Amino acid sequence: MEKIKSSVVERFLSYVSFDTQSDDASQTTPSTHKQWKLANALKAEMEAIGLEDISLDEHAYLMATLPANQLPVTGYQLPIIGFIAHLDTSPDMSGTNVKPRIVTHYDGQDILLNEQENIVLSPDLFPELLNHLGEDLIVTDGTTLLGADDKAGIAEIMTAIDYLKQHPEIPHGKIRIAFNPDEEIGRGAHLFDVQKFGCDWAYTMDGSERGELEYENFNAAAATIRIKGLNVHPGYAKDKMLNASLIARDFIDLLPEEETPDCTSGYEGFYHLTSMSGTVEEATLSYIVRDHDAQKFDKRLQLLQETTDKLNKIYPAGTVTLLIKQQYRNMREIVEPQKHIIELAEKAMKQAGITPIVRPIRGGTDGAQLSFKGLPCPNIFAGGLNFHGRYEFIPIQSMEAAVQVIINIITQ
């Protein structure tokens, strides 16, 4: 296992040197050209390992096969299992010139990430650090994100597949792996060719804390509210002016203030105001809407429409317009009827000495969209914590454990 540990760390440190931020404003796939650099490097690595059916399409979807070396049992067809991770990192923070550092045998104290800027990773703010006392943590220098989301998943999949390729005495069925662009902007599964991938089911290696196993996620939509005002000289505005920014404030006030991300947890849904801009003449509000329960989710969207209609009765008709874009749905309805997929992952974790943590994702994964495209695809931990920011870190022991879980799933 020491070789697995060193291999996964070496790969991870190599992959985070690639800046692969995606860009929501882009209309191309991948959304940024720099994702190609990592995709091409991984393709070359797959060829060096000796994988088969390697393909890198025009949109940077990379797939490969580890062929079966196990004879099928008479009357039983071995399933084809897939493992998936994403190439891109979040647009929320820079991924340029990442400078990772290993903190060995973490002692529970503050970690000084950047002395010049006095950036400190502290268990006072991030108590999850204390779950990893004595472990080896990879941290940032405080000026970028780390990229464990999801380069840890890529490193774990590649290390597991490489290990099995080097140990042909370990029997297994056919395994497919895939790395896709643009997960962080919600497009990772849009052009994923499920038929070409050809699996009975798959797992995304894109979770967080060691032991996480997730097959429930939010139902999700994005809402854009546009408000048209009427601007006249403020000295002569009485009974004439319509201040779009103030009407935007009215819209915000009509939504339940306690149903926001900072006030909710577990299965509780929310309205999240992600951006706002405005003048007297026009204003725009952008929301994301989330709920695990489909009926409650629909009621949230209905409230947005009712709020729009209410303001259009107070102000001239057409002052407020609402555009709702459905994003993804809760994969539970697809995965739960095939519970053996979850049970297999739970067994693999227990074999690795890990207690499975089965809980809903307060977010979404490519696996949600893939499940509705015909590929049941729950999510397994990759080990990183505090994703999308300067305080991101990953315990090396969690990456090592993820590799072992992948191997255990494959060799059941």
Task: List the catalytic residues.
Answer: 88, 183
DSSP state of 382: -
CA–CA separation, 186 and 179 (whole Å): 15
DSSP, collapsed to helix, strand or coil, labels residue 283 as: strand
DSSP state of 242: B
CA–CA separation, 188 and 368 (whole Å): 11
Q: How far is CA 251 from CA 168, 243, 303, 319, 345, in A?
A: 62, 13, 11, 12, 45
CA–CA separation, 349 and 335 (whole Å): 18
Alpha helices in 35-113 (DSSP H): 35-49
List of residues 6+ apart from 369 with CB closer than 8 A: 188, 189, 190, 192, 328
Residue with tokens 């949230």: 300
First to last CA, the chain: 18
DSSP, residue by residue, 158-226? HHHHHHHHH-TTS----EEEEEES-GGGT-TTTT--HHHH--SEEEEEEE-STTEEE----EEEEEEEE
Tell me if 18 sits within 8 A of 170, measured CB to CB: no
List of residues 6+ apart from 241 with CB closer than 8 A: 229, 230, 231, 232, 234, 280
Torsion of CA 254, 255, 258, 259, to 10 degrees: 180
